[in-house]
Each structure stands twice: as C-alpha cells, then as structure tokens.
Amino acid sequence: MRTYSGHSTPKASNELYRQNLAKGQTGLSVAFDLPTQTGYDSDHALARGEVGRTGVPIGHLGDMRQLFDGIALGQMNTSMTINATAAWLFALYIAVAEEQGARPADLRGTTQNDIMKEYLSRGTYIFPPGPSLRLIADTVLYSVEHVPEWNPINICSYHLQEAGATPEQEVAYALSTAIAVLDTVRERGIAQANFDQVFGRISFFVNSSIRFVEEVCKERAFARLWDRLGRERYGVQDPKLRRLRYGVQVNSLGLTEAQPENNIARIVLETLGVTLSKSARCRALQLPAWNEALGLPRPWDQQLSLRIQQILAFETDLLEHEDLFDGSKVVEQRTSAIAEAAWAEVEAVLKRGGGVQAVESGYIKEQLVSSNAARVAAIERNEQIVVGVNRFVESAPSPLTTDGGADVILRVDPEAEREQVARLEAWRKSRDADAVGRAIEALVAAARGGENLMPASIAAAKAGVTTGEGADALRQVFGGYRAPTGVAGARTPSVDTTELEALRGKVAELARRLGRRPKILVGKPGLDGHSNGAEQIALRARDAGFEVVYEGIRVTPQQLARAAADEGVHLVGLSVLSGAHLELVREVMVRMKERGLEEVPVVAGGIIPETDAEELRRSGVKAVYTPKDFQITRILEDLVGYVEAAHAAA
Amino acid sequence: MKGSPEEIAEQVVRGDPAAVAGAISLVEDRRPSATARIVALLHALGPAARREQCQRVGITGPPGAGKSSLVSALAALVRASGRSIGVLAVDPSSPRSGGALLGDRTRIEIDPDDTKMYVRSMASGGDLGGLARAAAAAVDVLSAAFDVVLVETTGVGQSETDIEHVADSVVLVIQPASGDTVQFLKAGIIEIPHIFAVNKEDLGDVATRARTELQSALAQSIAGETWRPPIVSTSAKTGKGLAELLDAIDAHHRHLQKHALLGERRSKAAAVMALQLFARRYGEVGVERAGGGPALLARFREWIAAGATAVEAVARASKG
C-alpha cells in the first residue's frame, strides 16, 4: 500500500515520504517531475513551469541524497515511476544506497522502465525505440547480476487503457512490449537459468476500469497468456516464475470533474476488479485521488485513497476466501474471449515485425487513437453513461467544491522552481569539473561501444553529472525521436449526427467567407505528453471540415508561435495537462504577439481549475475547456464563432 | 494580409517568412474577389520565382515510404549547406468532410528564429487528389523567396504526376518489399522521376533487392535519355545516403542548367499545369469552349513564355 507522490523539491518530498511512512504506508512510490523524466536540467528552456510540478525534480546525486535523507534504502521498497531516464535514476539510487552503506544486493524496488508505452501514451520518451530497448535490456541484465531483488521493468498496460485501449488491446500490447524486451535480453546472450529469473522478475502495471466484472476477466486472461508465453515461447519450466505479477493503479480516465465526490464510488468499484479474484489478484495497489480531474491532490486526498485500501484489506472479508470465480461459466466465457482476442492481436503485432516496429510504424498508436475516438463518441451520444456528466447531471450545491474546485487542490509553490535552479547552479560550481568531463566521455564511449550502460552511469552519478548532462550524452549517440501521433491513420466512428452535419455546414460557410478552409493549430507546449485530448480534438476538427495542423507533443512556445505564423492559421488551441498551463499558455501568447499574431484567437484545454481559467481569460484566452466539456462537437462550434469574430474584426 | 500585392511581393523576395506566409494564405483564397490580387502578386513575383539558381524539388512516393522523415532530414542538410529552404507538404483532404490533418508526419525541426527556413503544410483540397491551384502558386511564392523549394506530396492519385509540373527535379521515394516498383512500371510513373531514393536502407536485404529490381526496370525505360536517373539508397533513421541524395538533386539541377533545359522545362510544365488547372475548374466542356486542349495549351505556352505564371494564364483564359 502506497501512494504515488513527490513534488516541489527533494526536501519537501522527503518530508512527505517520512509522514506517509509514519501513517502506515509500507513502501515508497516516487513521482518525478517532467524535466527529470525527459532528461532535462531544471534550468532548460523546456523545463520552464514544469519543475517540481508532477513530481520531484532530481537533477543530480545531491538531490537523490536529500530525497532519501533519513530513510534507509537497504530496508526500503521503492517504486520509481521513471522510464526514459530509468537507467540514470537507478544509477543515482544505487550510488546513494552505497553512500548509506547498503549493498546493491539489499536493494528492493521497481523502476518502471517501460519506454515502449511512452511512445503510445505518456510521451516521456527521449530516444528512438531501438536504443530505448537497449537501455531496458541493460538495466535488466545489470540487475539480474548485481541487484537481484530489484524489478528492473514494470510493463505498463495502465497507460494504454488511459489512451483508450480496450481490455483486449491493453493485454495484447503489454505482452508485445514484454516480448520485445525478452527477445532482446535473450539475443544479448544469457544462460537459460538466468533468463528464467528475468522472466520471473518482469512485472506489469495494469489499469482497472469501472466495468469491474470485465476487469476480473481481463486479469485472469492476462495471467493465462503470460503463463502460456513463458511456457511456449521462452521454455520457462518453473510455473512459479510464470505467474503474472502485477500492480495496479485504478483508472483515472473515468474520473470526472463534474460531481467529483462520485469518484470515490468509482475508485472502490475499480479496486474490486483487481482484488476479487484471488487467482489473479494484484500484488500492489495504488488508488488515484477523488479530485484528480480538478488538479493536483493534496496529502488529505491521498490519505483518503490509502484508507479505502485499508478498509478493503482489514475490515472486509475479502482476503479470507479462495478464488470466488473458479467454476463460474460467465467469468470463464468472458475470460476466454478476451484471451483469444488479445492473443490474436499479439500475433498481428508480431506479423508486423514485433512491438518496436509496430510502434515505429504508428500501427499500435493508430489502434489506440481509434478506440479512444469510439469511446469519446459513445459518451457524447449518451450511449455510454457517465453519471453526473451525460446523465443525472443535476446536483445540490456541493460543500466540497464551492469555488469551482479551486479550493480543493494542491498549489505548487512557484518559489520551488527557483530554489531548485539555484541548487543546481550551486551543485555545478561545487563539483570537480574534470571528473565530470571524464565521466561524460566514458558514458558516451559506453553508449557507442554497446557495453552495458549501468556501470558508466553509476560512475557518472558519483562524479556529479547532472540528469540533463547524462541524457545529453546519450542523445549525442542515440539521437532524438518523435513518435507517430497516430492521428492521420486513425479511424473515427461515424459520428455523423445531425449536430456534426450542422457543424460541417457552418464550417463550409465559414470557409466560403474566409476564402479558404478554416485552419487551426492544435499544440501541446511544454513537456506534458498526455495527448488524448489534443488527438481527439484534432480528429473531430478534421471530420468537421477544419484543416488541422497537429505536430504532436513537446513543442516549445517559440516553435508553436512560429508554426502558427508560417502555417497561416486562423486559431490556436493549446492543451496542457501537467498543471503548467498558466506559464505555458501565456508564453505562447507572448511569442505570438511578437510575431504580430495577437489577433489570432487562442483557446486552451486541460486540467485547469476555475480560478486559473479566469486568469487565462483575463489575459486574452477566448475559452478554457476542462474534462467536463466532453462534447467535442460543441467545442468546435465555439471555435467557428471565434474565427468568425476575428475575421469580422479584421 | 495587408498591403498591395506588389508590396507583399517585395517582402517575399526579401525572404521574409511572415510575408511568405501571408502570400501563401492569399493564393489559397478561393473567393473570386481575390483572383485579381493573386494574379498581381504572382506577376510581381515572376522574375524572382523564375531565377535559375532556385531549385524546385518534388518528393513523392507511396504512403509509408518514409517521405516525411526523408524530407525532414534533407531540409536540415540543405540548411546546413548554407542555402535557404522553403518546404511545402501537401496532404490529402478528407473526402467526407473536406477537412484535413496536416503536418502530422512532417514535423520538421526548425529553429524558431531561423528566417531562412520555412515550412508550410497544405491540404490537397477538392481537386481530385491533384495539386491544387494554391499548391502550384505556393511553389511560385516559395521559389521567389528561397534557394531551395521542397514539395512533398503523398503519392496517391493525381498528385504524383502533377508534381512534375511544378518541380524541376522529381525524387521518387520507394519502400523496399512493397511491390512499389512493379506498380510504378505499370502506371508509367517510372518515367517521371529524375532520382530514385530506395528508402529504409537499414532494412538490409530487402532494400538491396528493391534496388536491383529498379535498376533492371530502369535500364529499359531510359534508353537514349541524356540524364540517367541515379538510384540512391537512403535511410533517414541512420542518415545514410542523405548527402548522396542531395548531391544527386544538385547534379540534376546543374544538368538542366548546363544543357539550357531549365527554362524550357519550366515553361512547358507550367503550361501543362495551367491546362490541368483550367480543366479542373471548367471541366471538359469548358476546355472545348475555349478552343480545345491543344489550342489552349499552345496559348498557355505563349503567355508563359512571355512571363506569365500558370495561375495567371488560367485567370487570363477564363476571362476570354
């Protein structure tokens, strides 16, 4: 039982961890900020506004030391949600543990290290898929030898469901990643006995949605397929090593901004899906906070999530029984159906050359974007009921969210970023520059040479190399990457409702008046990689008759302003979910003004509290859309109005 | 965009990206009331757009061949050679809604402060998959502003043959193991390109095989030509063959200049493009009314030889 946490600075996070441990939490789950996740130092241009926001910034050994100050790593179980820079953070962790006197063999915990899903969902990748797979294999092989109790990779299907995956797709694509990793490890040359251990060490991080009976079946199907894969493809003999080990974060996608208290019921039901069935029960569980759709949860919100788990484990009789579903016809039927469909999709991926190729070609992303488009359309058409959103929307005044929710979320202290940058500057001055230079050279050489990167990373961590410098060294060798957005190839459900038809008419009429089709730029400034919203807007706008320029994630405000100018767009829509919306949206507008684009209307979307929305509108943003604005067609109707007004004024 | 067409043209010729953007938005304007301004703009740009030093390069090929990554890498390479570059990426419009997703595959890394590089994406519009009037005119705008113009079209339908009417040098990008070569042979497309890029060289054997296949197909079709289309193996992933590809593009441009073919090729192409644009706009009946294809083409050639652009010629023909 743990809560995913970390924020502001290493010092503030350290205090939070100590409090949580005192409340009965049994391990730590570290959330890192986006610059750390994407390999930038806190003072990098792309890091602006993002430092300490989604998690703790760890820029160097000193930060890691402070994060675990007074926490004995030799006795702790630490889960680190880190991917593209997993090898680096693992190296920093080992270095700090050694300073504390712990041996690597004593260390227990997990690095998420599933870079494949980053290309499909979270977007915090750095390098192309090939080198990313190598980094994964390096950490896997290193830990098998030196840190045997560590889970070097935690393959996430969680984020696939957040990106719209059906249960079948969720299982299939997670297995495809596992196959890519295992095949790579095997090709690197490893004894079968060691390989069996690697197989047994692989764990998964799964999602659980509100359809909890289906979730029960999905986990059973998943366990079945994992066992089969171990047996058939990899010849793992020991059935214990073929057991599916998985942790869960229950679904955030289904949590609503409207009537957020309803989310407590959703979280409990979603938890049942992964705990009811003893033969496919999760080994670790973390729950989101009820107010996630409003902003960053406070410690009190996280405490509530922890208490839900404690009630389930200690008050109910859930853990007293054998499996409840063995022998159930209904469950067996649904389980088999999911297993069959998922396996067929695994084979489809293998036929395309495997997980890496299916990511590079955009195939998997297109499947996910298509599924999500279907889901979004079903909610819009009221075919999929979401209580408080498209049905039963009336509500008595809420005592919880009197101020549009702005009063029930955590605010990141804007001073934290400055403090962190100052710390970084001091760190750079205090270290031995020659040793740092040599360590970076050694890291580059290791990357070029193909040897395991972990020893050079640990040496670099000890020498005082920063997170940004370490990532840059690898960028030099591996190059950067841009994942396919999947948007152009995605299928959209035929949402040819009268509403959309009417909108098309309006867009065509607007086109006639403008002399060309209305053209919009959909942009994701900053480091946030959650692109579901932007993708769905882009797709529907195309279907409504707009010309849409969408360049994917991680674009700087300067680049967006330049693209808006070069492309001659009529409107700019910005999507930010990291919480850095105030800084980023304003920055884009300043840059647009510099280019004489102050007349081009700007709208923003994201998890934006009402008070911030008001501030944005005051600085000239035409409209702010949040998760409660689920009717995309209506949003697009607004856009027609803004373009029309701007045209009339010109 | 504010200002007279002549003023805009002046800023375009100076290479001001904001003016280029405004000029392209103007040529995209389909309102009849805009035609006069468009024609005036293109007329004013004419001399600059016809500069022989400007290289107009078309890059086409089937979807999935990796054109976008290639264009992206090539653009960086051109820029690194000190030349300025304008990129036009044409994507298909949705037949259902008329809308389009643009730039999705062509995110070209661009330094926001670099004024010598410009990227624009454009929808093919309702023109039956061919290049729209706007695309042809946009190429003229870009040619007036930059040293090199790269036009990327998705090789489906009409646009892959249209490309030869706007570009001096056409690069066909082929994906190994796709059966592309055979299809191109059948469609007669193999006669259009000046350079072949067998992409995804990193795939190994299949790429080599595609190259061999292409070589034997080409041996038959280019007999007697002065330019022998080179085949370059490329990989945007590893960067291999990219410098060679740019060399081949430059060599073709020198070839056209050396044999004094460039002006002739351009005016011929512009006349054909004009005829296509006219036919798309007014249909077969319209062409007949204007005196029939051959006569119309002859008239276009005459006007274009005298300095008109394709779009200008169409506008003139529609009046009379």
Give the model's pLDDT for residue B6. 95
In this predicted structure, the answer to whether residue B106 has a pLDDT above a threshold of 60 is no
**Candidate ranges A353-362, B74-83, B223-232; pick with highest mean pLDDT:** B74-83
Give the model's pLDDT for residue B188. 65
Give the model's pLDDT for residue A29. 87
| Interface contact B100, partner A, CB < 8 A | yes
The pLDDT confidence band at residue B4, using thresholds 50, 70 and 90, is: very high
Give the model's pLDDT for residue A498. 86
Residues A290-295, mean pLDDT to the nearest whole number = 80
Q: How far is CA B239 from the centre of its chain?
A: 23
In this predicted structure, the answer to whether residue A15 has a pLDDT above a threshold of 90 is yes
> Which chain A residue is nearest to residue B29, measuring alpha carbons?
A515
Q: Can you say whether the dihedral through the CA atoms of A196, A200, A201, A202 is positive or negative?
A: positive
Distance, CA of A15 to CA of A416 (rounded, Å): 15
Give the model's pLDDT for residue A495. 58
In this predicted structure, the answer to whether residue B78 has a pLDDT above a threshold of 70 is yes
Q: What is the DSSP string of A156-214?
A: E-HHHHHTT--HHHHHHHHHHHHHHHHHHHHHT---HHHHHHHHHH-EEEEEE-S-HHH
> What would the two tokens of residue A623 be?
């409209």
Of A379-388, A405-414, A580-589, B95-104, the range with the lowest mean pLDDT is A405-414
**Sheet (strand B55-60) strand order:** B117-123, B85-91, B148-153, B55-60, B169-174, B195-198, B231-233
In this predicted structure, the answer to whether residue B127 has a pLDDT above a threshold of 60 is no
Quick: pLDDT tens for A245-259: 998 888 877 888 889
Quick: pLDDT tens for B184-210: 666 666 778 899 999 888 877 878 888
Distance, CA of A129 to CA of A136 (rounded, Å): 10
Nearest to A524 by CA among A468, A580, A600: A580
Angle at A551 between CA A545 and CA A557, to 5 degrees: 115
Domains of chain B, residue spans:
53-258, 260-320
Shortest distance, CA A538 to any CA of chain B (angstroms): 7
> Which chain A residue is nearest to residue B25, measuring alpha carbons?
A568
A363 has catalytic annotation: no
Partner residue opposite B104 with nearest CB, options A485, A504, A544: A485
How many Cβ atoms from other residues are within 10 Å of residue B2's Cβ? 7
Query: Is A551 in contact with B104 (Cβ distance < 8 A)?
Result: yes
A485 with A365: CB under 8 angstroms?
A: yes
Give the model's pLDDT for residue B239. 86
Of A63-72, B68-77, B273-282, the range with the lowest mean pLDDT is B273-282
Domains of chain A, residue spans:
4-408, 498-649
Residue for token pair 């856009």: A639
Residues A628-643, mean pLDDT to the nearest whole number = 94
Residues A280-288, mean pLDDT to the nearest whole number = 87
Angle at A179 between CA A174 and CA A185, to 5 degrees: 130
Of A536-540, A589-593, B152-156, the range with the lowest mean pLDDT is B152-156
The pLDDT confidence band at residue A615, using thresholds 50, 70 and 90, is: very high
Q: Which helix (H) or strand (E) holds A273?
A: helix A262-275
Confidence (pTM): 0.89
Q: Which CATH architecture has domain A498-649?
A: 3-Layer(aba) Sandwich (3.40)
How many Cβ atoms from other residues are within 10 Å of residue A432's Cβ? 11
Cβ neighbours of residue B86 closer than 8 Å, sequence gap 6 or more:
B20, B117, B118, B119, B120, B142, B145, B146, B148, B149, B150
CB < 8 Å from A in window 285-314 of B: none
Higher pLDDT, A41 or B219: A41
The pLDDT confidence band at residue B129, using thresholds 50, 70 and 90, is: very low
What are the two backbone dihedrals, phi and then psi, of residue A374, each rounded to the nearest 5 degrees? Answer: -65, -40
Q: Which CATH architecture has domain A4-408?
A: Alpha-Beta Barrel (3.20)
Going by DSSP bridges, is the β-strand pair A154-156/A203-208 parallel, antiparallel, or unpaired? parallel
The pLDDT confidence band at residue A340, using thresholds 50, 70 and 90, is: very high
In this predicted structure, the answer to whether residue B277 has a pLDDT above a threshold of 90 is no
Give the model's pLDDT for residue B143. 97
Shortest distance, CA A77 to any CA of chain B (angstroms): 40
Burial degree of A98 (CB within 10 A; 0-12, 13-18, 19+): middle
> Which chain A residue is nearest to residue B111, measuring alpha carbons?
A559
Give the model's pLDDT for residue B223. 57
Q: Which residues pair with B102 in a beta bridge?
A: A549
Give the model's pLDDT for residue B128. 47
Residues B12-33, mean pLDDT to the nearest whole number = 95
Mutant choice from A542, A587, A633 vs B, greatest count of B C-beta within 10 A: A542
A524 has catalytic annotation: yes
Q: Which helix (H) or strand (E) holds A219?
A: helix A212-232
DSSP-derived 3-state class of residue A586: helix
DSSP-derived 3-state class of residue A142: helix
Single out the catalytic residue among A158, A173, A363, A625. Answer: A158
Interface contacts A/B by beta carbons within 8 Å: 107
Determine what percent of chain A is predicted with pLDDT higher than 70. 97
How many residues would you count in chain A? 650
The pLDDT confidence band at residue A23, using thresholds 50, 70 and 90, is: confident
Query: Is A543 in contact with B101 (Cβ distance < 8 A)?
Result: no
C-alpha distances (whole Å) from A453 to each of A88, A121, A154, A178, A470 are 9, 26, 19, 21, 11
Determine what percent of chain B is predicted with pLDDT higher than 90. 49
Give the model's pLDDT for residue B30. 87
Query: Is A562 in contact with B28 (Cβ distance < 8 A)?
Result: no
Residues A223-234, mean pLDDT to the nearest whole number = 97
Single out the catalytic residue among A159, A218, A570, A581. Answer: A159
A162 with A120: CB under 8 angstroms?
A: no
Q: In b/e form, how buried is each residue of B72-91, taking b as 16+ CB within 10 angstroms?
A: bbbbbbbbeeebbbbbbbbb
Quick: pLDDT tens for B311-320: 889 888 887 5
Query: Is B237 in contact with A128 (Cβ distance < 8 A)?
Result: yes
Query: In the predicted model, what is the mean pLDDT of chain A?
Result: 92
Nearest to B218 by CA among B181, B246, B250: B181
A146 has catalytic annotation: no
Q: Which CATH architecture has domain B53-258?
A: 3-Layer(aba) Sandwich (3.40)
In this predicted structure, the answer to whether residue B221 has a pLDDT above a threshold of 80 is no
Mutant choice from B85, B104, B114, B121 vs A, greatest count of A C-beta within 10 A: B104
Partner residue opposite B30 with nearest CB, options A485, A516, A548: A516
CB < 8 Å from B in window 578-607 of A: 591, 595-596
Partner residue opposite B34 with nearest CB, options A128, A515, A595: A515
A125 has catalytic annotation: no
Cβ neighbours of residue A463 closer than 8 Å, sequence gap 6 or more:
A431, A432, A435, A436, A438, A439
Distance, CA of A422 to CA of A150 (rounded, Å): 33
Of A195-204, A629-638, B54-63, B172-181, the range with the lowest mean pLDDT is B172-181
Distance, CA of B172 to CA of B196 (rounded, Å): 5
| Interface contact A487, partner B, CB < 8 A | yes
